[in-house]
Amino acid sequence: MTGAAVAWPLADPVALLERSIAYTLGSLQLVTEESMDRATPCRGWDLRQLLAHMNDALGTLQEAAMDRHIALAPAAAAPDPESDPVAALCDRACRLLGAWARSGDPEGIQIGGVSMAAGIVPAAGALEIAVHGWDVATACGRNRPIPPDLAEELLTCATLFVSDADRPARFAAPVELSAGAGPGERLLAYLGRGPRL
């Protein structure tokens, strides 16, 4: 990517981030200590590992809002074995949203020395947060679809952010669906997730 401005199709990426966080906070309420070792739709990760990844991702998004840059290789904090990962994640999500709400309209955010247009980072974060919220609910054995309006906007993000170069390292190949699939199913399928584990 270059530092050149790009036409951004979403009117308010921070509002999109807020809706994704609200959805995911609902999924986090399903987590129990017994569910922590369950497999998730993220290949090779159990629920405990997924929650740790989500916490790291939210920390990176908060760094972007506050410092206007993202390190390419952020230092990973060692998890506290005594902490409640769900409570920590809920707290971090609220702090993240507050940071972006206060950030105004940034001129750009530096990612590895490249300036990204305003809106890209919170929109990418919204995509990751909501899809992992679905992953959490699925690991807990619950069918909790991403709301259709939210999924439709996130599908727009996904088609901008996820390319063939991201497969199979970051995302599996798209999953085929019937013609009548809704926006949530289409979003998950585009990211290599079927409707069930």
pLDDT, one tens digit per residue, over 61-88 is 888 887 776 776 655 555 565 689 999 9
Q: Which amino acid is at 189?
A: A
Which pTM value belongs to this model? 0.87
Residue range 33-71, pLDDT digits in tens: 999 999 999 989 999 999 999 999 998 888 888 777 677
Residue 6 has a pLDDT of 45
Residue 78 has a pLDDT of 52
Residue 107 has a pLDDT of 65
Residue 197 or 16, more confident: 16
Residue 150 has a pLDDT of 97
Please tell me the distance from the alpha carbon of residue 156 to that of residue 142, in angstroms, as a whole number.
26
Residue range 106-120, pLDDT digits in tens: 567 777 777 777 688
Residue 189 or 102, more confident: 189
